[in-house]
Structure 1
Amino acid sequence: MKRNKQLMVGVLSAALLFNGTMALTPSAFADDDDAVVIVKAPLDSNKILTDWVRLIVVNTSGVASKDLSDVLDGLAAGQTLSQASGLDGNLSTELFKLADQTVANAASNYSGNSDEFDNLSKEIKNKTTEILSIPGYNGNNLKSFDFKAVLQDRMSSLNSAATSLSEDENIDVIDRLQNGATLLQATRLDSTELINRLQHPIVQLLEQAETNGAISSEQASKYKEEALQAIRTGIETPGGITVKVEQAGSGSGFDGAALLKKRGESLIQDISLFTAEYDAIELKDALNSGVKLFQTSGLSSSELIANLKGLWGKDIEEAYQNGQISDKQKEELLNQASNDIQSAINSLN
């Protein structure tokens, strides 16, 4: 059984609105000798923060396992969001965990340095703390509703969301995906259960949008069906779903060194996905204070290295499967990744 860690909580974590196109089918690239790399859009912290605030009531209902209508009723009666959730002081803890996952998703989908992502995390948490104490908070009303952006956010995190729902270890699910299994096969979950749990965050957001008058009941029904079909396609796609985030006109040769450098820069974030007690911010603070990694991770060095190799290897394997790199290049990149991970873990221990 996997460790009880909320990598995902089954709620829509601050819709990340991507500037680009979304592919709901396996990646396909031209069969030429020049490889291709997806160029990430620059981080837009203000937009991510705005979306987090816009969705904070929906996310609260998710982490509190409470109907959205009940939370809204509590706010309408003058309660704070903490009171309406029924979690009181524990709500901030649960939302902070979700904020860490939101920042992790941003780090995976946008380009930026570690300070920018650290600042984004602090801004989200500071704003959350401010909102939780406001009686009758109503800042979540939707003036407009961008279903395409909401669906794209759900699909962009579909692999990680489905993986977190499985009772198997994350690394085992990832291995099955790398070997060509679908998400349904890799997670070993019932089809109906998996679809319902993946669709639930979108359904909640659609219901809120309908309640606020942003969309009609007919639109809500139409969007629910579109989400259902997209998720069904996603879980039945061999190797998992691929959502590309790219800027118009961008693209260049595949840069393995850049890939490993980017992974190295997000090492602490990657490690936090497999630790039992620390999120990324807490882990970084602990290491900066002189605590050794083996004291914080709850894993042996060999276990942690194996998990990280599986995570980094997925990017390399995807490039190989898409014809972007040769057998030799794949082997060289995997070896270099292994060496980089080993060196990094040794330095932190």
Structure 2
Amino acid sequence: MRKQLAVLMGAALLVAGASGTAFPVKSAYAAEIGTTTTSVEGSAGTTADTQSGASTAGAAVSYNTLLLNNWLGKLDIHTQAAAGTNSEDFQNALASGATLTTASKLNPSDLIDKLKTMFAEDMAGEVQSGNLSAPEAAALEETAYPRIADLVSSGWSTDSQTAVIQTNGAAIIHSHLSTIADDASLPSGIGTIELRKALRSGKSLVDASGMDASALSDALTALLNQDLEAAVKNGTLPSDQLEKAEKDGASALWDAANTPGYDSATTPWMEQYGQRLLADVLDPSSIVQKAATIAGKDIDDVHSALLAGQSLSTIAGMSEADLTSQLTADVNDALEHEWEAGNLSVQLLTKLEQNSADALQKAVDQNGLGTQTAAGTSNPALAAESIRSVVENIADYAGVAVSDLRGKLADGQPLVNATSVDPAELTSMLQSRVDTFLDTAVQNGWLTQEDEQPTKTEAYGLLNAAITNSNYKATMDTKQYLTDRLNRIVDDAADVMETKSADSADATQTKSDDLLKIMASGKSLQQAVGIDADSLLIKLLRHTNEEINGFVADGSLSEQDAAKLKQDYASAVTKLLSNN
């Protein structure tokens, strides 16, 4: 199990929330919490000015607007379904310039009525799923109907469906700067690792590649421009920004290629990945296993000696310096491999190696390493979060509708009496859910291992009160919730993209680690996930909206506060996906 370590990073950190997770000050997302939009989307949503796929400067993005854009963007598919016409004939007609009405062979009023009905049915499904509130769905219908009529009458084409999230050209340039050694290996014929090593030794990329500076710069710039032009073509980079991005990119690549000892920037994603790497290799169980291997000792004998209070150096029969040196070399090999793969900058690698050496020296000298539980303290925010879905968990386990359970709560019944499930069985199930949540929190680094048991104890007390007291309402701190969601954006992205069962916590964690590794190498979150930014955004907003609407249904959050929370989250994530 991953253990959060206090020695991980020497840089200044920003503790972004009560969950205790620390992030770099330069974080592209945690630092935005204080600057997110303060505009409040009313409970019915503010989608009236949204076009079918276009995003105007400064316009608020929300799940509602994205949902409408998505639906209108597939108007050809909806029209074909409404008409029940042959797919090939329909698409050929559209390709030839026919309108939706002509291609469908329906008169305009009939087609518009059918499309309106289909939209209303889809919105009802969104309400049923908890992604929209009833007022939001009604507002979307009011907005969508004239847009449908206009698109049917005036013409519709896939070319007019512009992406909502506009890419920052600087983000594409940064990605190429991060992978400049990889890009240079193509025209130079020299392996990426050899180029990285040459840079680390103080050479410039021009010298390391053996190419003429202009020729190398032209090759690197051509690769960048391909991506910039592709972004313009797919509608994610405004065409009026292309010329400046190409000019800025060419200048940045020239400087990087001619800089002796050029080192890629240490990004927040890279730093997070480094923290996770260090937490894994410095986990006590990992250190003990490696020490046993180095000393040629049976692992069970080592554990017994540790339980008796001995130190690893005594058990190994080695000096502290010798054992620390060998353990450090083993850890450094793993970190060096990550650097060679382009997942760490030289600056971060050096920092991680120093921190690991310091931590290993202390571990080798510690009596009973890993056998003594440090006195921790409860994390109230995570304790409360661990039982936040208690109503949904009970409804799922008991096989009843959440709305029915909420109705019984409104009538004054305690949760323990609201189903036919035996109270002891119900409590055991819910405590198991708490355990799973907090175990994941430790794995993800949101909670220290020392604090896990005290937090579980507090959570069990909150759980008992929640199921036995009448008129239960989940506690909800909107600022904390927003902080948590932004800090856990990679984990949430892994969660919304995960196709396995909801119980596959380990699979989701592995996916989260994999995503962070890809992002550490210079890729964006959407590139790591493998879908476009708009598609990822709507998945993240759908996931969050469902939770927030549940808080409203539970009576834990007002419609007005929920609307502001949704908009603030949407604004922050949109900015992140545009700039990361």
Q: Normalised by the shorter chain, which TM-score bucket?
A: 0.3 to 0.5
Q: Which has the larger radius of gyration?
A: 2
By percentage of residues, which structure has more helix? 2
